[in-house]
């Protein structure tokens, strides 16, 4: 992915003089590219005046940062205890089967990235799948196809 140096500079400028904001800067960069491109990390390090290794270290330390491009939609399955006992592993299996990827992977068409998480704090709704920040509670393997089709349909509708 091509990194827009001007855009990265704008992000850094937003936090100018606030050296404790490196994580926020990287979050903004990730929001722009859906991951942290190496080139963008170098630009941030240059602009902030920090050693590249330090910025790279922060990028790889936090689980929230992605070093590989993410798909257009993020599909997160809660694998916390409450969701687990209510069938989350079967829901995850079905998502893996339908998308043909494992957790932390992205489909070849760059549509979906599959993630897992340990408790979203809404255990009573479990098993939960979150797609693009929308919660889908009481998920069942049989609902997975419909869920994915709905996301694709909505996404295609937005393109027009």
Burial readout 28-57 (b: 16 or more C-beta within 10 A, e: otherwise) = bbbebbbbbbeebbebbbebbebeeeebbe
The smaller minimum CB distance to ligand FES, of residues 28 and 94, is found at 94
The one segment of 22-30, 62-70, 73-81, 146-154 that binds ligand FES by CB under 6 A: 73-81
Q: Give the span between the Cα atoms of 58 and 25, in whole angstroms.
A: 11
Q: Is 21 in the site for ligand FES (CB under 6 A)?
A: no
- Residue 85: count of CB within 10 angstroms of its CB: 11
Interface with ligand FES, residue 3, by CB under 6 A: no
Nearest approach, Cβ of residue 31 and ligand FES (Å): 24
Q: Is 81 one of the binding residues for ligand FES (CB under 6 A)?
A: yes
Q: Is 128 in the site for ligand FES (CB under 6 A)?
A: yes
């Amino acid at each position: 992915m091509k990194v827009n140096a001007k855009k990265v500079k704008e992000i850094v400028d937003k936090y100018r003089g606030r050296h404790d904001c490196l994580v926020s800067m990287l979050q903004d960069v990730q929001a722009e590219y859906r991951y942290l491109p190496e080139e963008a990390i170098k630009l941030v390090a240059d602009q902030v005046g920090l050693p590249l290794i330090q910025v790279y270290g922060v990028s790889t330390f936090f689980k929230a940062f992605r070093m590989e491009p993410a798909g257009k939609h993020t599909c997160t399955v809660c694998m916390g205890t409450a969701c687990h006992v209510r069938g989350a592993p079967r829901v995850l299996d079905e998502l893996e089967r339908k998308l043909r990827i494992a957790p932390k992977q992205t489909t070849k068409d760059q549509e979906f990235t599959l993630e897992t998480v340990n408790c979203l704090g809404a255990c009573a709704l479990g098993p939960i799948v979150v797609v693009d920040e929308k919660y889908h509670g009481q998920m069942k393997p049989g609902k997975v196809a419909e869920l994915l089709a709905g996301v694709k349909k909505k996404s295609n509708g937005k393109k027009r």
